[in-house]
Amino acid sequence: MNIYDILGPVMVGPSSSHTAGAVRIGLITRRLLGAAPVHAEISLSGSFAATGTGHGTDRALIAGLLGMQPDDIRIPDSFSFAAEAGLTFTFHKINLKDAHPNTAILSVSSADGRTLEVQAASLGGGRILVNQLDGIRVNFTGDAPTLIVHNLDKPGCVANVTSLLSRNGVNIATMQLYRNYRGGYAVMVVETDQNIAAETLELLRHLDGVTKVTYLAAD
């Protein structure tokens, strides 16, 4: 347990789940995309869909996509700032079975053609959990330095990534492996004890079988 669990986040808005957590979902989506989004299709499920508008969840998600933090005083006016930034968006309500009640799916795109779909839940106290990336089930919070490697599901990919990290002085804290089907598309989610240097990330991007590398450095 850390002090964040006891005190909760410093934030703007009435609810840590519906506002602070929603900002973090938008923000981590922007970081995972690796660029400023120019369009977002956002689906809200459960409590987010039922009461999110009144609690400012919609504005909080857009604020996060714009790069704002949970304590940013501009959050209530995020729609106006989105218009200035060239970010267009739409909201929909959906019913996700077996999902956390505060769940959102964000499908985003950038001006240079990058696309990403993120499903994440707000757990309370400003904490979030990313459940899916581009339709593949994952499970991470983004609290620790987190490396996400998209790769072909073939022998040697995992070993190549872990060996490269070891040679560059990076210790793995946790590692999760996911795939859509055997021999198809896979994702590694690696939490590390240290931040990873830009040079190491570039080497990872050139490994055989690796199609995409995303990195969330510790705040």
Q: How many CB atoms lie within 10 A of CB 72?
A: 18
State how far the alpha carbon of 24 is from the alpha carbons of 60, 63, 150, in Å: 8, 9, 22
Do 78 and 32 share a structural domain? yes
Residue 72 lies in a domain: yes
Last residue of some domain: 83, 99, 134?
A: 134
Do 155 and 116 share a structural domain? no
Do 123 and 154 share a structural domain? no
Residue 47 has a pLDDT of: 86
**CATH at residue 181:** 3.30.70.260
The yes-or-no verdict on residue 14 having pLDDT over 80 is no
Do 49 and 125 share a structural domain? yes
Residue 204 lies in a domain: yes
Do 102 and 183 share a structural domain? no
The token duo for 147 is 């490396």
The yes-or-no verdict on residue 9 having pLDDT over 70 is no
Return the higher-pLDDT residue of 63 and 46: 63
Do 10 and 83 share a structural domain? yes
Q: Beta strand 88-94 with 37-46: parallel, antiparallel or unpaired?
A: parallel
Residue 51 has a pLDDT of: 79
Q: How far apart are CA 210 and CA 156, in angstroms?
A: 11
pLDDT band, very low/low/confident/very high, at 10 (cuts 50, 70, 90): very low
The yes-or-no verdict on residue 13 having pLDDT over 80 is no
Do 98 and 12 share a structural domain? yes
Q: How far apart are CA 138 and CA 117, in angstroms?
A: 12
pLDDT digits (tens, 9 = 90+) for 131-148: 999 988 899 998 899 999
pLDDT digits (tens, 9 = 90+) for 20-38: 999 999 999 999 998 999 9
Do 39 and 103 share a structural domain? yes
Last residue of some domain: 109, 134, 159?
A: 134
Residue 219 has a pLDDT of: 66
The yes-or-no verdict on residue 184 having pLDDT over 80 is yes
Hey, which residues does 192 pair with through a beta bridge?
172
Last residue of some domain: 78, 99, 134?
A: 134
Do 156 and 116 share a structural domain? no
**Mean pLDDT, the chain, whole residue set:** 90
The residue range of the domain holding 113 is: 3-134
Residue 141 lies in a domain: no
Do 98 and 28 share a structural domain? yes
DSSP string of the chain, one letter each residue: --HHHHH----SSS-IIIIIHHHHHHHHHHHHHTS-EEEEEEEEEEHHHHHHHHHTHHHHHHHHHTT--TT-TTGGGHHHHHHHHT-EEEEEEE--TT--SEEEEEEEEETTS-EEEEEEEEEETTEEEEEEETTEEEEE-SSS-EEEEEEES-TTHHHHHHHHHHHTT--EEEEEEEESSTTSEEEEEEEESSPPPHHHHHHHHTSTTEEEEEEE---
Do 114 and 64 share a structural domain? yes
Residues near 105 by Cβ (< 8 Å), separated by ≥ 6? 42, 43, 45, 94, 96, 117, 118, 119, 132
pLDDT digits (tens, 9 = 90+) for 124-135: 888 999 999 998
pLDDT band, very low/low/confident/very high, at 190 (cuts 50, 70, 90): very high
Number of domains in the chain: 2
**CATH at residue 107:** 3.30.1330.90
Do 154 and 107 share a structural domain? no
Residue 140 lies in a domain: no
Q: How far apart are CA 47 and CA 132, in angstroms?
A: 19
Residue 55 has a pLDDT of: 77
Residue 139 lies in a domain: no
Residue 98 has a pLDDT of: 83
